[in-house]
Amino acid sequence: MPGGGRPSPRAAEVRRRYIANCLGELDRFLHLLIDEATGHAPAVTVQRNMANKIAPFSQGTDQRRLRALGRTRACLIHTGGVVSRADERDGRWMTAGWYCPVSEDLQTFPLGAELRPAGRELADIGLFYRMLADRIVA
């Protein structure tokens, strides 16, 4: 990797898109799992927002995190990982879909910051989706 261990710009772009696509696939998996658990055919499903669709199986904190993961995915795909949209209108911060390393709060980034989720963050996201899937199946 050129530049002292940092990936090339092209490699970083591929990684961002790959992570965003993986997040989208995890959402699609949960959509199908919920449809199966509730007896709905996937073609009949009208709720496309995972945070809203999962409400009967989750807690408010799960929905907040799913919304943050949706914003994280959009940021990685559409703005090259640069935070350009806040959680709220006229806000200055975007909440990402992983926890801050020193607290039990989701990590926030100011507008203009770059999202670069590392292995720890991705493993945490994977555990979150697994916990949701286990809850849906139960």
The answer to whether the CB of 86 falls within 8 A of the CB of 92 is yes
Residue 125 corresponds to which tokens in the numbers above? 């996201």
Is residue 98 a contact partner of residue 125, using CB atoms and an 8 Å limit?
Answer: yes
Could you report the per-residue pLDDT of 8-34, keeping only the tens digit for each? 889 999 999 999 999 999 999 998 898
Asked if residue 114 has pLDDT above 80, the reply is: yes
Joined together, the tokens standing for residue 4 give 């002292």
What is the value of pTM for the model shown?
0.85
Q: DSSP state, 81?
A: T
Mean pLDDT: which of 41-45, 68-72, 101-105 is highest?
Answer: 68-72
pLDDT tens by residue, 44-87: 555 567 777 787 777 778 999 999 999 999 999 999 999 999 99
